[in-house]
Amino acid sequence: MSDETPLEPDCAKVLDNLYLFLDNEMEEATWDDVHAHIADCGPCLSEFDLERMVKELVARSCAERAPEPLRQRVMYSIRSVQVEIHKTRE
Decide: 53 and 22 in contact? Cβ < 8 Å.
no
pLDDT of 10 higher than 90: no
Average pLDDT on 13-28 reads 90
Look up the pTM and report it.
Answer: 0.57
* Distance between CA atoms of residues 76 and 85, nearest Å: 14
Decide: 45 and 11 in contact? Cβ < 8 Å.
no
CATH code: domain of residue 19: 1.10.10
Supply the range of the domain harboring residue 19: 9-89
Q: Is residue 77 part of a domain?
A: yes
Count of domains for the chain: 1
Q: Is residue 55 part of a domain?
A: yes
Average pLDDT on 50-68 reads 87
Q: In degrees, to the nearest 5, what angle opens at C-alpha 45 toward C-alphas 11 and 16?
A: 40
What is the reported pLDDT for 87? 86
